[in-house]
Amino acid sequence: MPTEDSKTTKIVGKEELAHLIAARAHVELKQADAMLDALTETVREEVAKGHQVRLMGFGSWKLSAVSARTIKSIRGGAPLHIPAGKRVSFSTGSLLAQAAKAPARAKKAPASKPASKKGAK
């Protein structure tokens, strides 16, 4: 989602996320990287087993069944059959949803002009 100041979205990758975690948790970068790896591996393994993984306030991951369907090909319009499968879905938690709706940074309001007095000349 672009910010008000720019037209491009900043992407925070794994390396930068590990740096941010290390700074916030007051741990070494190697420890933060190991924690991040452990989190992603654990979520991946648990979701693959069919378990729902929930971090209260942040969100939850779960495996959802997707039914078979037929779509129209964009190349020629021929019908294509897509078999049934499974898909990982993520639902945002309340705190993450609130953070997404909150203004990024409040800009300074322009200085207001003093109110003129009626009848004063």
What is the per-residue pLDDT for 9? 87
Mean pLDDT computed over 10-18: 95
pLDDT digits (tens, 9 = 90+) for 30-87: 999 999 999 999 999 999 999 999 999 999 999 999 999 999 999 888 999 999 999 9
CA distance 26 to 22: 6
**In the 8-state DSSP scheme, what is residue 119?**
T
Contact 54, 26 (CB under 8 A): no
pTM, to two decimals = 0.68
Domains of the chain by start residue, with CATH: 9-49 (no CATH), 52-103 (4.10.520.10)
What angle separates helix 29-48 from helix 14-25, to the nearest 10 degrees?
120
- Residue 64: which H helix or E strand, with range? strand 59-66
**In the 8-state DSSP scheme, what is residue 42?**
H
* Average model confidence (pLDDT) across the chain: 86
Contact 38, 25 (CB under 8 A): no
